[in-house]
Chains A and B, each alone.
Chain A
Amino acid sequence: MTLLMEDTGTAVRAGDVQAFEAFVRANDRKLRGVAWAVVRNAEQTDDIMQSAYEKAFRALPNFDGRSSMTTWLHSIIYRTAIDYVRYEGRRRHTDIDQMRNVGGSTDAASHGIHRMELGDVMDQMSPEERGTLMLVTGLGYSYDDAAEILGESRGTIASRVSRARTRISRWTDSEEEQS
């Protein structure tokens, strides 16, 4: 992926539609993870990604490559998703059926995780917490990088991750007690 970015970076920044398309196709899953984490609705995630990609494409002239393109795009996607949640008032809409049928379920299942129950835990988090958790734990960004992407302080990032992990720990503890 990094190689792809480097290979296409110049063309992408030049506003080459094909290059930009190629980039987002290759990285879409990783990129949309943030939007999904925030809204947890597949259709809304598509809407957000469409909007975010359009914004990014328009803003390409402002991207000077000092950060990675994925970092830059994640910032746009997160802000778009948060805006969406705030202003559309849809953040609590979680389509259970979609959650059951979303792609890539085998990874989680293979780890023996009770998805729905953990999904419920995720639902209890704020969109910001979920987005931050996705960036740090799901995508492996450092706190500093996540802070840069989200425009927050490092302390805020750490706090959000901590809160999210605490919720999950409580859930896992509860699961262990029940078993």
Chain B
Amino acid sequence: MNDDELSAFLMGEVPEPGGDFFEDLSARLHEINEEEAAAAAAEGAEQVDHDDGNRADNHQGPKLTAEDDVIIDLSEARERRNRRWNTGAAWRSAAAAVALIAGGAIAFDALGDDDFQTAASDSPSETTEQPVDSTPGDSTSDTSNTTVDDEQPDDVDITGQTCLTSGEDLLVIQFGPTETDPFTGVATIGNAVSTISGIRLDPGNPDAVTYLVNSSAIGSAEEGAPIVDEQLWYGGEGISINGSFFSEVTCDAVAEQANQLLSFVGDERPATPTTPTTIRSCYIHADEILVLDLDTAYMIYTGARTNLDSIEALSAQATGTTATGESVLDVRSSPLGSAEEDGGPIVNQLEWLKSDARAEILAGDQMFAQVESCDSLGDRVSQLDNLVSTYPPIIE
């Protein structure tokens, strides 16, 4: 069979769209248009408030209570970073976000780039378009000379380029430039955050980076398919995956591991959500601790518990050098407290289930709440605020 025959066959098979396909599409596109116009209008209004120095939170969650608190929209920073993926300037943006912290409020976008599906699917420009550099919006701080830039772990970029490996159709690990969320200490790797949801710098071992696989396309402990517990990147020496050490890390080596991992997966792969959330930039604030962006994070661990009182400490944490303070960043312990540390488990995790368009807040093993909107989430967070007041997290 020659190419022409095969081409004719392939294209001849393609079915016509269903009867109402274009009508439905048209209606949906108009809806999106209206949604985005409304969102743009809301953003404009928010900016006006912000410029007045009296920021009124336009989001649906509870508003800040401290006048000097600042919520940082990391989604904007992330967008800027995404446009810089290939420039290695992601760290600069992260530093910009750090510099924007003022007044002690903590805002973070937990596992911000964990929306592999939307990141990969919505933004194919990462592969088909060239990155467009841009200047961080309204930052008033010059962050170009922060230590973050100087200390970015180039060695994480294994090949110097994009190391893209594929194990059948399941596992893709892309060791591209990393970015570290300064608030959570979580770094994301390249674009394949559905596989490895983040890395955590180990303050006790500056050379080690823990790759946390909280939830992945491979499966997660919560879902009965623990496959990868961790990957440790030891400087330029190698990588450890589930205790197996690989001294010469190449795409092939990782791919080989990926194929081995596949054999464990079977049909246990989690039902990773595919339905985009309808909640955009839902910010929830709980006593200067919790802010969630449900637009991008389908798996949210409630984030940073921190006593960070200086930008320097946070920067040090983010870069994996020894923290100058006593701060602890652990995305898997709640900002509202954790069972391990203070006996007052409030929230262990908040899981956003895109497929069901709802979020689950877990306190210990108990379901604390199911929320379906920013408003309802806000109500729950208000309740959490009360709990926090009763059982304040112990800050180390």
A residues engaging B (CB < 8 A)?
15, 17, 20-21, 24-25, 28-29, 32-33, 36-37, 42-43, 45-46, 49-55, 57-59, 62-64, 66-67, 71-72, 75-76, 79-80, 82-89, 91, 98-99, 102-111, 113, 115, 118-119, 126-128, 133-134, 137-140, 148-149, 151-153, 156, 168-169, 172
Contact = CB atoms under 8 A, between A and B. Distances in A.
B14 A33 contact: yes
B8 A108 contact: yes
Interface of B: 1, 3, 5-18, 21-22, 24-26, 28-30, 32-33, 36, 117-118, 120-130, 132, 164, 166, 168-170, 217, 267, 269-274, 276
Contact of B169 (A86, A98, A169): A86
A37 B169 contact: no
**Residue among B9, B21, B124 having the largest count of chain A Cβ atoms under 10 Å:** B124
Contacts of B6: 137-138, 168
Given A36-B14, A36-B15, A118-B9, 7 more contacts: A24-B25, A33-B10, A76-B124, A83-B274, A107-B9, A128-B169, A151-B126
A140 B15 CA distance: 19
A85 B129 contact: no
A50 B9 contact: no
Contacts of A83: 117, 120-121, 272, 274
A172 B1 contact: yes
A103 B16 contact: yes
A113 B26 contact: no
A106 B14 CA distance: 12
Nearest to A83: B117
B127 A76 contact: no
Nearest to A34: B14
A104 B5 contact: no
| Most chain A CB atoms below 10 A, which of B13, B130, B270 | B13
B135 to A, nearest CB: 17
B3 A137 contact: yes
26 contacts: A20-B29, A25-B22, A32-B14, A32-B17, A55-B118, A58-B122, A59-B123, A64-B129, A64-B130, A79-B124, A80-B121, A83-B121, A85-B169, A86-B170, A87-B274, A102-B13, A104-B11, A104-B13, A107-B8, A107-B11, A113-B5, A113-B8, A115-B13, A137-B3, A137-B10, A156-B166
Contacts of A75: 124, 127-128
B12 A79 contact: no
A61 B147 CA distance: 33
